Each structure stands twice: as C-alpha cells, then as structure tokens.
Amino acid sequence: MAQHDDIRANEVAVDWPERIDAVLVFIGVIRTPWPTRAECPHHGRPDGPLCRIEVSPPWDAALDGIEAFERIEVFYWLHEARRDLVRQSPGRNGLTKGTFAIRSPVRPNPIGTSIATLVAREGAILKVRGLDCVDRTPLLDLKPDRSQFRSDASR
C-alpha cells in the first residue's frame, strides 16, 4: 500500500523556497474521530460525525456572539500534508492536475477550510458537523457564514 507522502505516477514535486513569508498563530485544536489521514474523509458532510473545535485562551474571548450563526467557516492547518507537489494524481491513475485545480490537502500552504454546521457552544468548545481533517489538527481561524443567522438569535 502506498504511503501518503509517496509520489504517484506523473506527479511533479518542486524544491521548497529558502525564504518563508509569514507567521501564523494556532488558536486552538480540532478534535475529530479520524486519527490518520488514511481514515479521514475527502470532504466534510453536513450529516457527518460531531467534531469539537477547542479554542485556546486568550482567543476564546473572540467566540462571543458566534451562537447567532448556523454555519461557520473553519480554517485549519493541514499539518501532516506534504507541501511540494505542483501536479497531483488524485485518482491514483497517473492522470494529473495542477494542485490549485483540486482540493487535495497537499499544497504549498496547507490551509484547509470547511463550512461547518454549529451544533452547540460550551464555553471555549464548539460542537460542529461537516469537517474533514484528522484529530488534533491546528485551528487557524473561524468566520461566520453571515447568510446563515439562526432564526432564534438576535443580530
């Protein structure tokens, strides 16, 4: 069985740049039922399993008001993904596409994003459905889906 970091037929990798341009701060961690990339789904589903977003202090204060939204966009760091492929074979059949033309976790900046359904907030913990990342994935940011206010919440 191939490893996730193996080069597949016709894939193309590049050398990593010497200079790094940005610094990110992880604001928490995402807890999911998938311990490995092999077990993780390729896409989040609205009826998927309940996952937890644990926001760390001092960032947890930024959650105030998030309950007003039915859906949130979750940004996370795909910490187990390789970063050097510019052409990939998602079907593992030798047919390749450019990295920016597919939703693979393998990217120069492995930032993942999902629109998740907000089920509940318990202090600094959000319970959501719709994620597609491995357990203990670092959390980068959260943004409300402004078109999805809860009918019972005040704006």
Confidence of residue 92 (pLDDT cuts 50, 70, 90): confident
Quick one: average pLDDT of 114-142?
Answer: 97
**Three-state SS for 114?**
strand
Whole-number average pLDDT of the chain: 90
pLDDT in the model for residue 155: 42
**Which run of H or of E encompasses 110?**
none
Distance separating the N- and C-terminal Cα atoms of the chain: 51
Sign of the dihedral defined by the CA atoms of residues 13, 103, 54, 135, in that order: negative
Q: What percent of the chain has pLDDT over 70?
A: 92
- Residue-wise pLDDT for 13-68, tens only, equals 998 788 878 889 999 999 999 999 889 888 888 899 999 999 999 999 999 999 99
Longest Cα separation, the chain: 54
How far from 104 is each of 68, 73, 76, 89, 149, CA to CA, in Å? Answer: 31, 18, 14, 10, 30
- Where in the chain are the domains? 23-81+109-144
pTM exceeding 0.75: yes
Q: Is 62 helix (H, G, I), strand (E, B) or coil?
A: helix
What CATH number matches the domain at 23-81+109-144, 3.40.50.2300, 3.40.50.10470, 1.10.1040.10, 2.40.30.70?
Answer: 2.40.30.70
Please give the single-letter amino acid code of residue 100.
F
